């Protein structure tokens, strides 16, 4: 708004100045020329200000309830994805603003152009590739079951007749719907709510992405929860973009460079305590 105001003032000032000094000393033809000069001045000031007016930060959607990838620590956002994107943006000289939202709203926001990029541990799968574009995969994950430490559930084969908490709109939720016949699914917008249901005994198990489950058990489990069974459906996470975004190839180039020069490994070790398997 401030830029537009300066623009209007500059245009008006230039026209008035020309008219004040010249209008009483010229004929009709010269007046026409002055009008053209005024129009040119308007065009020039518009061009001078337009670069600043159109320059905007990229809007980055993120699900800040997905530790250790994205979460809020005090008054700032942090996590593996946040650090990785910061390095990518630095290489590409990108300015951006993080916009937290529920995971279930992120892909629609990309589709409608409300956001430019999505950092949310988004699993790359064909149904999503039909509606958004992805970067190359940057993290391999799957799903793990988490149960109370005194539960007799040993794995997915024991879920029939049980209640299972999952997060709405996730690959884990889709997988459970397709594969756990006879299991009552309870879906929550936030995975923390699903874990709370388990901790308070209102569901028999919870299922979510492997790194998030392991991080929760280590940092907040207090010995009251454990994992059971094997990891299911290993898949890659990708950074999400609207269809046709020219950022995809640029981001992929930087991701590849980071994996070659050690920056990716350093960020990975910071958050997971080890380097990824080669």
**pLDDT tens string for the chain (278 positions)?**
333 334 433 444 434 443 444 434 444 444 444 444 444 444 444 433 333 323 479 999 999 989 999 999 999 999 999 999 999 999 999 999 999 999 999 999 999 999 999 999 999 999 999 999 999 999 999 999 999 999 999 999 999 999 999 999 999 999 999 999 999 999 999 999 999 999 999 999 999 999 999 999 999 999 999 999 999 988 999 999 999 999 999 999 999 999 999 999 999 999 998 888 77
pTM: 0.71
Q: What ranges do the domains of the chain cover? A: 2-54, 58-137+238-272, 141-235
Q: Is 58-137+238-272 assigned to CATH 3.40.50.970?
A: no
Q: Which of 223, 130, 229 is nearest to 179 (CA)?
A: 229
The answer to whether residues 60 and 119 touch, using CB atoms and an 8 Å cutoff, is: yes
For the record, the structure tokens of 232 come out as 């299911």
Distance between CA atoms of residues 237 and 250, nearest Å:
18
Q: Of how many residues is the chain composed?
A: 278
Residue 18 is predicted with a pLDDT of 39
CA distance 72 to 79: 8
pLDDT at 237: 97
Q: Looking at residue 275, what is its pLDDT?
A: 87
30 Cα distance to chain centroid: 58
What's the CA gap between 217 and 275, in Å, rounded? 20
The total of other beta-carbon atoms located within 10 Å of residue 251's CB is 24
CATH for the 141-235 domain, from 3.40.30.10, 3.40.190.10, 3.90.550.10, 3.30.750.24 = 3.40.190.10
Residue 65 pLDDT: 87
């Amino acid at each position: 708004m401030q830029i537009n105001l300066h623009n209007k003032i500059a245009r008006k000032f230039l026209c008035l100045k020309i008219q004040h000094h010249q209008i009483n000393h010229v004929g009709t033809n010269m007046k026409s020329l002055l009008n053209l000069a005024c129009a040119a001045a308007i065009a020039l000031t518009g061009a001078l200000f337009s670069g600043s007016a159109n320059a905007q930060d990229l809007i980055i959607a993120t699900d800040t309830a997905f530790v250790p990838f994205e979460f809020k620590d005090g008054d700032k956002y942090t996590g593996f994805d946040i650090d990785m994107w910061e390095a990518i943006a630095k290489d590409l000289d990108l300015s951006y603003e993080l916009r937290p939202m529920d995971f279930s709203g992120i892909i629609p926001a990309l589709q409608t152009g409300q956001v430019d990029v999505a950092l949310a541990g988004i699993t790359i799968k064909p149904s999503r590739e039909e509606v958004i574009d992805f970067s190359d995969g940057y993290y391999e994950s799957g799903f793990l079951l988490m149960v109370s430490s005194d539960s007799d559930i040993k794995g997915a084969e024991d879920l029939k007749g049980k209640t299972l908490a999952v997060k709405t709109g996730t690959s884990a939720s889709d997988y459970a719907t397709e594969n756990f016949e006879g299991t009552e699914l309870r879906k929550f917008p936030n995975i923390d709510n699903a874990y709370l249901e388990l901790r308070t005994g209102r569901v028999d198990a919870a299922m979510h992405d492997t790194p998030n489950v392991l991080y929760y058990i280590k940092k907040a489990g207090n010995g009251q929860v454990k994992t059971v069974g094997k990891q299911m459906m290993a898949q890659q996470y990708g950074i999400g973009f609207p269809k046709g975004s020219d950022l995809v190839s640029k981001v992929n180039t930087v991701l590849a460079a980071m994996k070659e020069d050690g920056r990716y490994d350093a960020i990975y070790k910071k958050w997971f305590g080890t380097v990824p398997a080669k």
